[in-house]
Amino acid sequence: MQIIYFVILIFSIIIHEVAHGYAADKLGDPTARYAGRLTLNPIPHIDFLGSIVLPIISVLSPGGLLFGWAKPVPYNPFNLTRAPRWGETIVAAAGPGTNFALVIVFAVLLRLVEDQAFGTICFIGILVNLWLGLLNLIPVPPLDGSKVLSGILPRALAHQYDQWRARMEHNPFLGFGIVLILIVLFGSTIGDFVYSLARLIAGV
């Protein structure tokens, strides 16, 4: 069962990153395409710590919350000429948005194919992608939620928030530290909520 969690987690993380690059490419920035990152081949996306070590630890930990990342897809926000105001927000939202789209795909497949083993795989897909989508919407850099929030805040608030975000992005380990503290403090509650939501979506 753990191997299924691991495979779906890695697959979902890679799809998440490709979605960032694809959105940027459509908005005028070919950086990810030129870097060979608009591919489902896992090799260019693998980060040893984030894509192998941490996912294995999280999957094997009893009751552990799934955690991991791929190499960030590069993009140049100044090239997003087709959406100068909302470009970064759209690129950032494309990652978790794709995870939520995968939740829908797995939910549909679960209902279409009446097989218990396949249903279990689909439920894991729902659970993993719900968790990844919600996790990445936490508005703390370097997570996607920070850029999404910046895009939807009123300009005055967005300017103040962006100043804080810029300082945080210079020290990404601080941001990850805050996220890890939130997971340690509220992980059990969040995990129960995500699992209950996954069951609701799956209809089980």
Give pLDDT tens digits for 176-196: 888 888 877 887 888 899 999
| Tokens, residue 68 | 């991991």
Task: Report how far residue 119's alpha carbon sits from residue 112's, in angstroms, rounded to the nearest whole number.
Answer: 10
Question: 88 catalytic, yes or no?
Answer: no
Grade residue 69 by pLDDT with cuts at 50, 70 and 90.
confident
Task: Report how far residue 21's alpha carbon sits from residue 158's, in angstroms, rounded to the nearest whole number.
Answer: 24
pTM for this predicted structure: 0.91
Task: Report how far residue 151's alpha carbon sits from residue 166's, in angstroms, rounded to the nearest whole number.
Answer: 14
Sign, Cα dihedral of 155, 159, 165, 166: positive
What is the pLDDT, as a whole number, of residue 173?
A: 80
Q: What average pLDDT does the segment 44-51 reach?
A: 89
The DSSP call for residue 78 is G
> What residue ranges do the domains of the chain occupy?
2-202
Task: Report how far residue 181's alpha carbon sits from residue 177's, in angstroms, rounded to the nearest whole number.
Answer: 6
Is residue 16 within 8 Å of 47, Cβ to Cβ? no
Grade residue 153 by pLDDT with cuts at 50, 70 and 90.
very high
| Tokens, residue 142 | 């370097």
Burial class (CB in 10 A: 0-12, 13-18, 19+), 49: exposed
One DSSP character per residue, 102-136 reads: HHHHHHHHHHH---HHHHHHHHHHHHHHHHHHHHH
Task: Report how far residue 55's alpha carbon sits from residue 70's, in angstroms, rounded to the nearest whole number.
Answer: 11
Grade residue 65 by pLDDT with cuts at 50, 70 and 90.
low
116-136 helix and 2-26 helix, angle to the nearest 10 degrees? 50
- What is the Cα Rg of the chain in Å? 17
Residues sharing a CB contact under 8 Å with residue 9, sequence separation 6 or more, in sequence order: 55, 58, 59, 66, 68, 128, 132
Task: Report how far residue 60's alpha carbon sits from residue 47's, in angstroms, rounded to the nearest whole number.
Answer: 19
